[in-house]
Structure 1
């Protein structure tokens, strides 16, 4: 007698990443790729396994309205929270009421010293790839 294996439950598959690119160093050496993707209706930023930046106090991940961030008044950015770690893969949930298309860059910012470590510019057709 043979048995038929039980069917596995359906899995939610993330949409293909359509917007990604490398960080641009500002005040501190930073490398790696950031991608914008959607999974089960929620939007995320993901830093890939090659991500690496310098350590510092009070490092934050932001969506910023300026392509090359210069001003950090509250109306210019949306915080996605503290940087989880200075290297490796990590993800940041974009709140449902925040439209990433309203912002022009992803930024790693030291809030304590008001210093931009690195940023990832967005262009009209999405997050375009930049080479270092």
Structure 2
């Protein structure tokens, strides 16, 4: 006990303890190991994929109906109304493969009815981790350790933080992005510069 008190009384011992505690705190913040055991599921519908309009009442007369026996004539409203916009269209897609962490699910590049684009992750299942992002990249998807670090070597666009490590989610592609330049999607850990999983986008 006397020796312990004498050791703690030395300034260098206190300094070492302070550094050790600070280092442990920084390590916990930086690595956030508890996230490996914390799942976050996010389920989003594809925008514009589900119609919410109510079915028409078959017993109600339609606007512009002609009297019985008279030939039907198109109303001005009907003739002038534009055709309904097309629904979402899948332009490219692929299956996720595992990199640093076991990862599965599918990726789709989808053009919505309004002309905007989203990258959609479907049935995603990967590990949680610090600072995970969804990247649209021009890098090839390689299996094994050779594919872990390639996605920041060329051009890439971050579509934002990963919303959840499980589920189906949409990520908006900025309007000024030239989609012809990008061929893959990576679940990218920006803190440690490593891919958790990735998919090649094969054109539909």
Q: Distance in 1 between matches of 2:182 and 2:191?
A: 23
| Aligned pair partner of 1:42 in 103, 116, 122 | 116
Where does the alignment leave 5 or more consecutive residues of structure 1 unmatched? 128-132
Residues 91 and 111 in structure 2, CA contact (< 8 A), matched pair in contact too: no
Shift of 1:3: 4.1
| Aligned pair partner of 1:17 in 69, 90, 93 | 90
> Which residue pairs with 2:152 in the alignment?
72
Residues 14 and 37 in structure 1, CA contact (< 8 A), matched pair in contact too: no
Alignment partner of 1:53 is 2:126: yes
- The CA RMSD measured in Å over matched residues stands at 2.4
Higher RCO (CA 8 Å, separation ≥ 6 residues): 1
> Which residue pairs with 2:200 in the alignment?
121
Q: Distance in 2 between matches of 1:47 and 1:62?
A: 12
Alignment partner of 1:84 is 2:158: no
Count how many residue pairs are aligned between Structure 1 and Structure 2.
Answer: 120
Shift of 1:99: 1.9
| Aligned pair partner of 1:32 in 105, 120, 126 | 105
> Which residue pairs with 2:4 in the alignment?
none
Shift of 1:87: 0.5
SS at match of 1:101: helix
Where does the alignment leave 5 or more consecutive residues of structure 2 unmatched? 1-58, 64-82, 142-148
Runs of 4+ off more than 3 Å: 2-6, 10-13
- Relative to its length, the structure with more helix (as a share) is 2
Instruction: Give the greater-gyration-radius structure (CA).
Output: 2
SS at match of 1:116: strand
CA deviations over 1:20-46 (Å, ceiling 9, x no partner): 221011111110011111111001111
Shift of 1:4: 4.2
- Relative to its length, the structure with more strand (as a share) is 1
Scaled by the length of structure 2, the TM-score of the pair is 0.52
SS at match of 1:89: strand
Shift of 1:47: 1.0
